[in-house]
Structure 1
């Protein structure tokens, strides 16, 4: 009797597995994008000095960076928005490509200090960049725009992606003469903040200083949705 019960349970499990394996589904991908005017910028700036003596090169660099940090504080940039990211001291070689085969020699030293600055008031951006240049910044590694709270943009992009994926699945089901069932699975990937493909002019520095245009930024969310097919 136990043998028959075991066989019946095995057959039922096999039938359920086959039914699950034969279940038909539609899988679609969709991308949703939300646009916004930036309300924040991040500047990567640096100071580099060379001198015959390592200590002198580092001192000149440190003095300039100290002046820059003091100026940023005067302009209302908070301490949480300023961060040192790279501090280096390296030899400067001479005679490395000497055709006579002479050994290269250290002719001096190069000291560098790189700082990231977040500017939350974009009307100050041009003036901030102009001020740090005057105070000794001689190396700019980049300028990027963003938003202080990206979550609302991500929510908009996510809603657009889900709506697009659902419409695409409905279109595929209709074209194949099928009835679309409920959602079985959703996966998403949130992209970073990027400049919009079609930028519009938006001046963020209308006071004296380096001219800067922020344009628009975009946040993208890609979703993969799996729908069942109703019988």
Structure 2
């Protein structure tokens, strides 16, 4: 008996899937949402000012624009010389006359109507002709920067002694704020984390990793490390013969820290 052996052939098919397709499929899956807590803390530190500025506005009249400008320049020069005797350098007295270009640096002032007699002797006064005198008034303003704050009152008294009464409030500023800013940043960061810990503990969770820490809110478009708010103080004029006294306020340096932390379950 003859036995025939037939071979059995098995066909196998292997599909090759690109690695990029697997990565893309994983990326399409929505990432699990991680609970988080957001806090913001603001800390303010006060620093002493080291600069004061005051704006003095004045004017001068003349029968022509040239004459009015000459009288105005004389007033400015007189003021500069007087302030120099107080120790205010000339480069600390800057012109601010661009404020007046909007309404015109030279103003025309038309006087009341008056009747002038005719030039012919013996003419009837009933036929006098009306005239109006024109006066030209030049405006200017100077900003005085005072670095020795003990001289603020003397500067105001000097200005008023020269007939300058249009005086702005004294504006104080601090230029050395680095140390106060660093202290406020550290304190704000600690306070923001303490708030986050309190929220997490009340929720039965604990803080995980830090997601972000910044002095800029998520929705802010402009980075602003700190805000130096301007302080304004006005001088009080006492009795006659008593110098003006200006109380120097402190200048606040305010810092806000925004933080985001991950919330995780307690072990």
TM range (shorter): 0.7 to 0.9
| 1:48–1:26 distance in 2 versus 1, CA, 3 Å | same
| 1:218–1:182 distance in 2 versus 1, CA, 3 Å | same
**What count of residue pairs does the alignment treat as equivalent?**
211
Could you tell me whether the CA contact under 8 Å between 2:95 and 2:140 is conserved in 1?
yes
Task: Supply the distance in 2 between the matched residues of 1:43 and 1:2 (Cα, whole angstroms).
Answer: 80
List alignment gaps of at least 5 residues for structure 1. 96-104
- Verify: 1:114 aligned to 2:125, yes or no: no
Could you tell me whether the CA contact under 8 Å between 2:41 and 2:188 is conserved in 1?
yes
Alignment correspondent of 1:75: 86
Alignment correspondent of 2:243: 209
Task: Supply the distance in 2 between the matched residues of 1:106 and 1:29 (Cα, whole angstroms).
Answer: 66
Rg (Cα) greater in structure: 2
Alignment correspondent of 1:193: 229
Tell me how far 1:224 sits from its aligned partner: 1.7
Alignment correspondent of 1:156: 183
Tell me how far 1:230 sits from its aligned partner: 3.2
Tell me how far 1:46 sits from its aligned partner: 2.0
Alignment correspondent of 1:23: 34
State which drifts further: 185-194 or 38-47: 185-194
Task: For residue 175 of structure 2, give the secondary structure of its aligned residue in structure 1.
Answer: coil
| 1:41–1:12 distance in 2 versus 1, CA, 3 Å | same
| 1:11–1:217 distance in 2 versus 1, CA, 3 Å | same
Task: Supply the distance in 2 between the matched residues of 1:31 and 1:90 (Cα, whole angstroms).
Answer: 48
**Greater percentage in strand:** 1
Tell me how far 1:2 sits from its aligned partner: 4.8
**Greater percentage in helix:** 1
Could you tell me whether the CA contact under 8 Å between 1:43 and 1:116 is conserved in 2?
yes
Could you tell me whether the CA contact under 8 Å between 1:194 and 1:219 is conserved in 2?
no
Could you tell me whether the CA contact under 8 Å between 1:27 and 1:169 is conserved in 2?
yes
- State the TM-score, normalizing by the size of structure 2: 0.68
Tell me how far 1:126 sits from its aligned partner: 0.7
- Verify: 1:45 aligned to 2:56, yes or no: yes
Alignment deviations for residues 165-218 of structure 1 (CA, whole Å, 9 cap, x no partner): 12211111111112112332233242223449xx9xxx9xxx963221113221
Could you tell me whether the CA contact under 8 Å between 1:92 and 1:106 is conserved in 2?
no
Alignment correspondent of 2:107: 91
Task: Supply the distance in 2 between the matched residues of 1:132 and 1:8 (Cα, whole angstroms).
Answer: 81
Could you tell me whether the CA contact under 8 Å between 1:41 and 1:143 is conserved in 2?
yes
| 1:123–1:181 distance in 2 versus 1, CA, 3 Å | same
Alignment correspondent of 2:264: 230
Alignment deviations for residues 95-120 of structure 1 (CA, whole Å, 9 cap, x no partner): 9xxxxxxxxx9943332211122211
List alignment gaps of at least 5 residues for structure 2. 1-14, 112-131, 216-223
Tell me how far 1:80 sits from its aligned partner: 4.2
